[in-house]
Structure 1
Amino acid sequence: MTMRPKMKALAFLFLFIYSSQGIANIGSGKSYVKDGVYFSDVQLPFKLEKQQVEALGSGLTLKLQLDFSIVDIRNWRIDRDIGTLNQSYSIRLNAFTGRYLITNLNIGTKVTLSSTEEVENFLSEIKNIPLVDDSILDIEKNYSVILQAGIAVEGISQWIKTLSFWRENLDTEFEVIEWKLLD
């Protein structure tokens, strides 16, 4: 192989790797202060798998769990956890109306949507999540918010899960998302 084909192959490989990195969407978050409380807006790559849509159609409930951690990032010592917050949503299909019911399990608000696309759009962008009161934070410190999110099926007993271990798993874990609390 001469030098020119090697360079072309190397350039092609570089472009392939570079272009494929933009395909993965892991989500993002941002925080802001309003009336002495830090709030966050989150964008998730929320997509229902085919098996999850079928599970909803057969009467099962899906639960979206958002686990927030506020961490004091320290350069030369172990990071310190400041606090955690859990936000949960349930997703159900009403067989009579054919509409999806999303319930915020923390505060009880409910929304009905007509399609899985609407559900995905609604849960892909969650806004105004209260995280922490600004009076317990030191403005001089370097805080980060770490979000771990996942979808789990509810309504299946443990022994049925054990019997069906060879089937596709209906649970989904998202990539961990991290952002600065104070910008």
Structure 2
Amino acid sequence: MHEPRDPGPSGEQQAGDGEVGYRGVTACSAVGISYRQLDYWARTALVVPSVRDASGSGTSRLYSFRDLVVLKVVKRLLDAGVSLQNIRKAIEALRSRGVDDLAGITLISDGTTVYECRSPEEVVDLLQGGQGVFGIAIGGAFKEIQGSLSHLPAEPVGVPEQEDAPVVEPEADSVGDELAARRARRRAG
């Protein structure tokens, strides 16, 4: 594994001529979520890895920098009590945006609905209407992810995955989940 290079102006990281991707375990560490959450969000198409999706046993997902920012936004919205249904609507609206476009967006929510604001005036208008309760400046999430990734490994995109390399699942989320821990130990050999 190698250390990621400094991100360019848009936050995307480059490795030589190609992009880099981040494995699930790295994504979890950078965003602050469990592997179980990441897997569930990928399987339910809430946040699907844009670099490489898992294509069967022995392959791993690779997430882009943009994917990690979206994962961070999902986590923050969930932590604030926004329903998964409303988060799906907000993420669907963000999915079509480019990295540079995302950096200028602030999401404001009243705990039920998520509003997209592109200027300070829109944020003030929403707050004056008595609706907004909390906000997420996506540009701030960019900086947090960049800081987290500075010490985490990345993989060059376009390099074929080694088929005979063992895939080791992360440990179970909690000590109480003995069945998941047994499965992880059995897979690890």
Same-fold call, TM > 0.5? no
In our comparison, the structure showing a higher alpha carbon Rg is 1
Q: What's the TM-score once normalised by structure 1's chain length? A: 0.23
Which structure has greater helix proportion? 2
